[in-house]
Amino acid sequence: MGLPTHKAIRVCFALSRFIVTIVRDLNQLPDDARGGAVAIGNFDGVHQGHLCIIRRLLERAQEVGGPAIVFTFDPHPVRILRPEECPPPLTWTERKAELLAQHGVDKIVAYPTDQRLLQLSAQQFFDEIVRDALDARAMVEGPNFFFGHNREGNVDRLAEMTRAAGISLDIVEPYQLGGQLASSSRVRKLIAEGQVSLAAKMLSAPYRIRGMVTHGAGRGSKLGFATANLEAVDTLLPKTGVYAGRAWVGSIVHSAAINLGPNPTFGEGHLKVEVHLLDYEESLYGQPLEVEFFERLRDVVPFDTQEELVAQLKQDVARVREIAKE
């Protein structure tokens, strides 16, 4: 097919009950990732609209007797074509694959987006990837699916191609929640507004970020509320505020109070992500940490004294405990 060979062929990581395999090289595509039902898209956030596509994908995969395959892009094509217009992602590739696998997808192809891929015409994309590489027997897409150079291919064009190739095609209607269309852009807006609980209803799981724990000022420990300072977060950050959520230390989950924003009580104006893990006292420096957001509790505000700050932190932790029980 002439598709480029990439160094990383597959990335495997363990989940609680199964192994997720991310395929990155179509020239090394395993046989059990061919001859099934295919859905192509970015699937950023893996929201309820995406799950409608996945459910139909699983049905079609069973009908054709092959795997359910999601073909996605890493990075998003817009990051290469128009980087100044590319919004922060909602999920990193491994998290996206984890969510898709949890809902039954057999294989996830995260193709390393490059200029050659972006220059393929709609017909070339269909021939090289859908027919030759994936040997698709069925396709499932949303109505706003576009493919090929300059997005020249749409669902009408895809219908012509699949019909000529003897491949079934399902177009799944968009999902609405409370009169709002489920979309990555809608979820992104809710998170940017701090409406993480509403965003969670539109997503397939509470919104999650990841980062590396680095050294902070150490004030939290002195106040009795040690925090893990998170840096190198590569996805969208919610609106500044104090949140209830949870954090993963390896495979162990801890309830958490999350402070996202500056520290005005101590005259600090730069944005920080500080995570207080309830009932956890071990050091986390230098470790990766994943954090989920359940509910926004309050704004970040300055306090006149440390005693007032501590009193508020106690209230925040008590509220986190209540939410954890719900």
pLDDT digits (tens, 9 = 90+) for 237-290: 999 999 999 999 988 999 999 999 987 666 676 899 999 999 998 989 999 999
pLDDT tier, 293 (very low <50, low <70, confident <90, very high otherwise): very high
User: What are the angstrom distances between the C-alpha of 104 and each of 18, 168, 186?
Assistant: 11, 20, 25
pLDDT tier, 196 (very low <50, low <70, confident <90, very high otherwise): very high
Judge contact between 99 and 206, C-beta under 8 A.
no
For 10-177, CATH number? 3.40.50.620
30 preceded by a cis bond (ω within 30 of 0):
no
List the chain domain ranges: 10-177, 206-325
Tell me the mean pLDDT in the region 312-325. 95
Q: Give the pLDDT confidence score for residue 160 in this predicted structure.
A: 98
> Does residue 108 carry a pLDDT above 60?
yes
Residue whose token pair is 């309820």: 48
> Does residue 10 carry a pLDDT above 60?
no
pLDDT tier, 325 (very low <50, low <70, confident <90, very high otherwise): confident
Domains 10-177 and 206-325 share a fold: no
pLDDT digits (tens, 9 = 90+) for 111-151: 999 999 999 999 999 999 999 999 999 999 999 999 999 99
Entry pTM: 0.90
244 - beta bridge partners? 257, 295
Cα–Cα distance, 273 to 252 (Å, whole number): 20
> Does residue 9 carry a pLDDT above 60?
no
Q: Give the pLDDT confidence score for residue 19 in this predicted structure.
A: 63
Q: Give the pLDDT confidence score for residue 222 in this predicted structure.
A: 66
Q: Give the pLDDT confidence score for residue 130 in this predicted structure.
A: 98
User: What are the angstrom distances between the C-alpha of 304 and each of 259, 276, 297?
Assistant: 18, 22, 20
> Does residue 164 carry a pLDDT above 60?
yes
Q: Give the pLDDT confidence score for residue 212 in this predicted structure.
A: 96
Return mean pLDDT, the chain.
Answer: 90
DSSP secondary structure code for residue 129 in this structure: I
pLDDT digits (tens, 9 = 90+) for 56-94: 999 999 999 999 999 999 998 999 989 898 999 999 999
Tell me the mean pLDDT in the region 202-228. 85
For 206-325, CATH number? 2.40.30.30
> Does residue 14 carry a pLDDT above 60?
no
pLDDT tier, 15 (very low <50, low <70, confident <90, very high otherwise): very low
